[in-house]
Amino acid sequence: MSLRRSFPAALGAAFLVLLASGPGARAQVPPPSPPAGVVPADAAKGPNSKDLFESIHVVVGPSARALDPIAVAPFACPEGAQAPCKEIDEVLAKDLTISGFFQVLDRAAFLGDPAQADAAAPRWDDWFNVGAKYLITTTVAKSASGLDLTFRLFGVGDRKAIPVKGSVAKNVAAKGVRRAVHTFVNGVIEAITGKPGIFGSQILFSLKLPGFQRTILAMDMDGSGRRTLIDNGSANMFPRWAPGGGVLYTSFLSGLPQVYVDERRITHDEREYRGAAFSPDGSRIVASVNMDGQSDLVILDPRTGEITKRLTETDWDEVSPSWSPDGHRIAFCSNKTGRPQIYLVNADGTGERRLTMRGSYNTSPRFGPTGLVVFAGMDDFVSDLFTVDMSGNINRLTQQQGSNKDPTWSPDGRWLVFLSDRSGPWRAFLMTEDGRYQFPITSKGEPLGTPDWK
């Protein structure tokens, strides 16, 4: 079988790519000692953080930055509210850790009994002596219809409270506790970095089931709130978020792979579609479709599904299209040189050029909000992740951490989600944009694929 004919058939299995090491590669050091999880004041022991932190890896490079040590003080919990108090504590610790900005300090080192202290008036010397740069205190009180939550952030060095958006939440029901903590941590990140966090944002995945079935599911960026969105008994693949919160995907529901948004079929022809994506303004869809025996890129009208523009017309395969943030360019993968590489083309079909000039097998490009393209490439017969800028400069994100595939950016460009088999079967991981800190967000291995984040 020729490469041209076999290339699209393996798309769903995420072709892995051989990429030679070069100047952009960074050395690695052993992972740091894991920061301990936090515990509520009335609990004998807190969350088991071993699974969360066991896969933290540090990549040494010019963008390396230290984590800010932050203490999360234990707090008194009202009678009968032990479950939501435990959730508050666990979500605070996990959000702060996977943010990539903080090291949550081990409570075993805390002095005295912080839970008995005044949450609004810290004992500054106690927190300075345990090495905290920042301190978070929490007050939980029962209200008529739930819980009143008050969070406080302090700068230990200058002994001052730091104003934070979302620090007070009234009448919070048990099911709203996680969202309240996410909102506060987003505010903490904004207060310290100038840009809010995005906890509570959603990630799509496809999930392979027995037989020829794939469902599409969504979860929060911390791995919680998992729910199935598309489950029609068919194979549903390549999910992307659609305008208004819908899901764009390719499905075999009609017999041939066609493009759908939620339950609505977009395309109504006899062609085979191999992934699609909405333009940033929602006015166009770029799709990879079988044209005369190979995959080409086309523009679709989202209302009618009609092809309005053919972007590529070659004897080879063009797949995995991804829009630039301004909607002017499209990154894609083509094997026109004999092996897959990353290319760019203008949205009107002009100006096509090769972007990756190193490596022999590069796939799965995804544009990020800042204009960088992340992609997967093979190195020493395993798949690793890299970024490439518009000048072709390549930077490594993963190395010696198993195989890593299907990367995609967070909406703000500060994180990536991807799949990795570093600890066994494939799991979903987050990492900071520079690859320095990486965390698992799913607890077990399963056949997830092609995430998309909003």
Q: What is the pLDDT of residues 319-334, one digit of tens each?
A: 999 999 999 999 999 9
Structure confidence by residue, pLDDT tens digits, 272-309: 999 999 999 999 999 999 998 899 999 999 999 999 99
What are the residue boundaries of the structural domains of the chain, listed by start? 3-22+201-453, 31-60+65-193
Task: Kindly indicate the confidence band of residue 64, based on its pLDDT and cuts at 50, 70 and 90.
Answer: low
Structure confidence by residue, pLDDT tens digits, 387-402: 999 999 999 999 999 9
Structure confidence by residue, pLDDT tens digits, 111-165: 878 777 899 999 999 999 999 999 999 999 999 899 999 999 999 999 999 999 9
The candidate with the shortest Cα–Cα distance to 19, out of 449, 336, 404, 435, is 404
The pair of structure tokens assigned to 170 is 């009234």
User: How many C-alpha atoms does 228 have within 13 Å on its Cβ side?
Assistant: 10
The arithmetic mean of pLDDT across residues 268-274, rounded, is 96
Answer whether 3-22+201-453 and 31-60+65-193 agree in fold: no
Domain 3-22+201-453 has CATH 2.120.10.30: yes
Apex CA 407: angle with CA 404 and CA 413, to 5°? 135
CATH topology of domain 31-60+65-193: Rossmann fold (3.40.50)
Coil, strand or helix: which one is 244? helix
Phi first, then psi: what are they for 243, rounded to 5°? -55, 140
According to the model, what pLDDT value does residue 112 have? 78
Contact by Cβ (8 Å): 32, 55: no
- For residue 169, CA distances in Å to 176, 177, 180, 219 come to 10, 9, 7, 23
Interacting residues of 402 by C-beta distance below 8 A, sequence separation 6+ = 382, 420, 421, 422, 423
Contact by Cβ (8 Å): 182, 223: no
% of residues, the chain, pLDDT over 70: 85
Q: What would you measure as the largest C-alpha separation in the chain, in angstroms?
A: 74
Contact by Cβ (8 Å): 410, 221: yes
According to the model, what pLDDT value does residue 403 have? 96
